[in-house]
Structure 1
Amino acid sequence: MGIPSQVRIVEVGPRDGLQNEATPVSVAARVAFVEALVAAGLTTVEAGSFVSPKWVPQMAGTDQVLAALPARPGVWFPVLAPNMQGFLAAQAAGAQEIAVFGAASETFSKRNTNCTIAESLERFRPVCEAAAAAGIRVRGYVSCVLGCPYEGEVPVSKVVEVAGALAAMGCYEISLGDTIGVGTPLKSRAMLEAVAGVVPMERLAVHFHDTYGQALANILACLEAGVSVIDAAAGGLGGCPYAAGASGNVATEDLVYMLDGMGVTSGVSLDGVLAAARLITAELGSEPRSRLSKARPAIQG
């Protein structure tokens, strides 16, 4: 298909990035992080998650985060809402977009959500129906698309099955996640093209973790296959609590640098993303994990 001339980056740092960080971040700091990302030109920024604070304390106060973010045309703040309880809380908080999170691995699904893949899909069905009735968009995630910390390699047929089920429920977009970062370029492209046989490429996104340093290479392979939506996290935030050694998401600034160098339009300011990454990592008492932040320290002045 060839590399698209324009790509939309979905910024997952404030949700997928922060939910696994040991240091809790205040609502005010999370709002400032989201606003910095929007100022950098990102138009889809995950704002948080409506799950039990008992299990994910880092996402407590997501309703307050949403309340502090003024609506603006063309900008979306999706929130994770994995069940009806989460959906109702998200709806009450004024969410315009939610996300549901499935897995292509049975063991991962049971360990992560305490249910089988089939049970998780049945749990999502009323959520998707209620969202459609309320005019709320739903994004679907499929995790472990290239490997599972418990099962090892995951059959591509399972990824296709779960992605197809989410699309049939009405998810406008399906994000295919290499949760533990074991994918390599040709396998990533083959997986994406297999899913595109069931779900149109324009409804697919890719989500790579950089555990083995393969994320940008995998993204390039998927761009060559025609994907035009890519998930990333400023500062390389994130990781998988179930996979030993799993590192964060591909860093948004590293991705933007690659896209800029390829002449692919993202609408995102490199300096703006670096500023957002510095802002949140200062709150965490750490440094951005991106290669760009290390290679271009002069920007930090």
Structure 2
Amino acid sequence: SIKNVVMIQCVGARTEKRTYCSRICCQIAVKNAILIKEANAQAKVYILYRDMQMYGVENEELLREAKRKGVRFVNYDPSRPPAVEDGSVKVYSPLLGEEMKINADLVVLSTPLIPAEDAEKLSKLLRVPLNENGFFLEAHVKLRPLDFATDGIFLCGSARFPANIKEAVSQALGAASRASIVLLRDSITVEPIVSVLVNEDACRGCGLCVALCPYGALEIRQTDKGRKVHVIEVACKGCGVCASTCYQHALTINSFRDDQILAQINAFLES
């Protein structure tokens, strides 16, 4: 009974509230449009879009196939978005320079994929960062796309950004492979440049360094001398945040002590 279908892209995306493009919406719309045409060749399917994000050779061929099957694509200006009325959709076409009225038995709104509601809570729990859009941020977009800066924690799929099924599966296989490297080892060699408690008596156990450590590599323990900070060497990255914030100078970075750095500076100036 449905003969006229209108799909509107970028509904709630690429706005002031959500500035990013969800990437996969256009692919899903084109795929569904082809399925509708295959089920009913007489159906009229319209896709109202701002920009078609059909990246990759396979997706480009999917777009061409949709056009061959008669799916109609209408570009719209975001300053004049489509208006849905009873049984129709009005949209201004910049290409034609006029407003179009399209009959619609079914209107489909393509909304963006958004981060999980508990992403921020999980980010704080695991001490891993989020990007400006609320998705998890990888260590390096090119060199380490499946790793966090924190060792032993990996990400894939739409946790890092909206991904289609093929991307999610390939990234999941990659993340599993990265995790297996760690699991198959009998022992792990850590970096030698880590934080060191050089003056236990000076430490007051205030917890300032613990709160500021981005890797969760510090903790406060009760000792015979009272509350003292303890360094978890396997988690420490040697960033130096704790050493620079300790007002008692109880912490330092191994191989980057103040006297070592001053000696290097003096040697350079003398030469």
> TM-score, normalised on structure 1?
0.23
- The structure having more radius of gyration, on CA atoms, is 2
Q: Please identify which structure carries the higher helix content.
A: 1
Q: Please identify which structure carries the higher strand content.
A: 2
Higher relative contact order (CA 8 A, sep 6+): 1
> TM-score, normalised on structure 2?
0.25
